[in-house]
């Protein structure tokens, strides 16, 4: 998405792409006016959105590249942490389900190995 203060620049660039493609289709490809406007609309907005996506991804890549690398946690440690977080939930008697206490979301978050919960400071 485009930042609020740059919306007019983005809209003007998209409009210029539409005008450019309309001119290209009508004058050089000799298409009918209505067909060239419809095709130019798709082409102009497509180029505008694709260009915006490329710029956003390049900026995100630069930010990730400049940021210091986070220490990687070995897979064994993630599994051990997930087992420790899941251990208090297993203290319930077998007749009670974990859904009755507060919903299934608590046990799902505790057993998520790929995205472990961050320790509270």
Sketch the domain layout of the chain as residue ranges. Answer: 4-66, 74-91+104-112
Percent of residues, the chain, with pLDDT higher than 90? 45
Q: What angle do CA 22, 2, 14 make, to 5 degrees?
A: 5
pLDDT tens-digit map of 50-65? 999 999 999 999 988 8
Q: What are phi and psi of 105, to 5 degrees?
A: -65, -30
Q: What angle do CA 14, 17, 19 make, to 5 degrees?
A: 110
Distance, in Å, from the CA atom of 78 to the CA atom of 72, rounded to the nearest integer, reads 10
Q: Helices marked H in 4-104 — which ranges?
A: 7-23, 33-66, 75-86, 98-102
């Amino acid at each position: 998405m485009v930042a609020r203060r740059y919306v007019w620049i983005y809209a003007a660039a998209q409009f210029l792409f539409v005008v450019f493609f309309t001119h290209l289709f009508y004058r050089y490809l000799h298409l009918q006016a209505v067909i060239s406007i419809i095709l130019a609309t798709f082409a102009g907005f497509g180029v505008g959105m694709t260009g915006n996506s490329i710029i956003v991804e390049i900026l995100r890549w630069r930010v990730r590249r400049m940021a210091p690398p986070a220490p990687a946690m070995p897979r064994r440690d993630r599994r051990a942490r997930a087992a420790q977080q899941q251990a208090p939930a297993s203290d319930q008697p077998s007749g009670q389900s974990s859904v009755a206490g507060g919903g299934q979301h608590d046990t799902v978050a505790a057993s998520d190995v790929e995205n472990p919960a961050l320790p509270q400071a």
